[in-house]
Structure 1
Amino acid sequence: MGLYLCIFDGEDEVDGVEVGSYADFGTFRTAVATHVEGGVEGSRCPILMLHSDCDGQWSPEEAVALRAELAEIIRKFAELPPEPLGSDWKFKVAKMFGLRPANLDDCFFDVDGEPLLDRLIGLARLSVERNLPILFQ
């Protein structure tokens, strides 16, 4: 089962990001805790880190803070060497799209091979602009 983060306006889907499995999202958050938060989960990125990855949502107000957290993560991950991709689907997607991670940021992408952090920032931006929550599905 995968994690899908999305924004709906009534019945219409505005945008969505298929993150991968819940384990993949956990691996991403572990990297954030390790490399951005110094091992203290939620200390620098509470919106991202302390929200359950089960059903729920980030409000537009939380999306403002989330954008700042994600920008900080991008800055830090860009300075760090890549780590093993881990999941079989990630190897397949990397091969399909010719992805060759040069830093830690490049190691996290969605199921379409798009940079995960950029996609999440885009969702947060849309959430704020449209005053709609980001839903966890």
Structure 2
Amino acid sequence: MGLYLCIFENDEDVGGVDVGSYSDFNVLRDFIVRELETQRAGSRFPTLILHSDCDGEWSVADCEKLRGELAEIIRNLKMRPTVQYASDWQRAVAKSCGLNPRNAFESFIDVDGEFLLQRIQELADLALQRQQPIIFQ
């Protein structure tokens, strides 16, 4: 089952990120906890790390916090070495898109082969512009 993060406005999907599977999302969060939070989940990035990945939403207020957390995470991961893709589908997408990650930030992609953290950050920006929550589906 896949995880889709999206914004609805007037019952219309105005933006979304197809993350991949729930386990792929958790691989990213586990990496952040291990590498940036020294194994203390949510100690630095509670909005991203502590939110349940099944159902629910990031409120508009959460998106403001999330945007700051993501900026710091992205900055840190760009200075870290690459990591292996977690799934076969990621390897296949990366190969078809000609991706060759240069750092840990570029090692996490969505189903379209775009950098996952950047896409979530763009979605948080859109949520703030539209004053709508990001919904977990």
TM-score relative to the length of structure 1: 0.98
The code of the aligned residue for 2:42 comes to G
CA distance in 2, matches of 1:107, 1:6: 22
Partner of 2:57: 57
Asked if the contact 1:35–1:76 (Cα under 8 Å) also holds between the matched residues in 2, the reply is: no
Q: Encode CA deviations 1:39-69: one digit per residue, 9 max, x unaligned.
A: 1100000000110000000001100000000
Residue 87 of structure 1 aligns with which residue? 87
Distance in 2 between residues matched to 1:37 and 1:19, nearest whole Å: 22
Question: Equivalent residue for 2:5?
Answer: 5
Q: Which runs of 4 or more aligned residues in structure 1 lie more than 3 Å from their structure 2 counterparts after TM superposition?
A: none
Instruction: Report the CA distance between 1:10 and its aligned residue.
Output: 1.8
Give deviations 1:101-120, integer Å, cap 9, x for gaps: 11100111110011111100
Structure 2 alignment gaps of length 5 or more: none
> Matched residues in 2 for 1:86 and 1:41: separation?
20
**Structure 1: which 5+ runs fail to align?**
none
RMSD, aligned CA: 0.6
Q: Name the SS for the 2:41 alignment partner.
A: coil
* Aligned match of 1:109: 109
Give the Cα–Cα distance (whole angstroms) in 1 for the partners of residues 86 and 135 of structure 2. Answer: 26
SS at match of 1:35: helix
For 1:37, the equivalent position in structure 2 comes to: 37
Query: 1:124 & 1:88 partners in 2: Cα distance?
Result: 28
Separation of aligned partners in 2, 1:86 and 1:120: 18
Shift of 1:99: 0.5
**Identity across matched positions, percent:** 51
Query: What SS does the corresponding residue of 2:52 show, helix, strand or coil?
Result: coil
Provide the secondary structure at the position in 1 that maps to 2:65. helix
CA shift, 1:86, in A, is 2.1
If the length of structure 2 is used for normalisation, what is the TM-score? 0.98
Is 1:3–1:136's contact at 8 Å kept on the other side of the alignment?
Answer: yes
Deviation digits for residues 82-103 of structure 1 (CA, Å, limit 9, x no counterpart): 1111200000000000001111
Aligned residue type for 1:43: S
Partner of 2:135: 135
Q: Distance in 2 between matches of 1:72 and 1:11?
A: 32
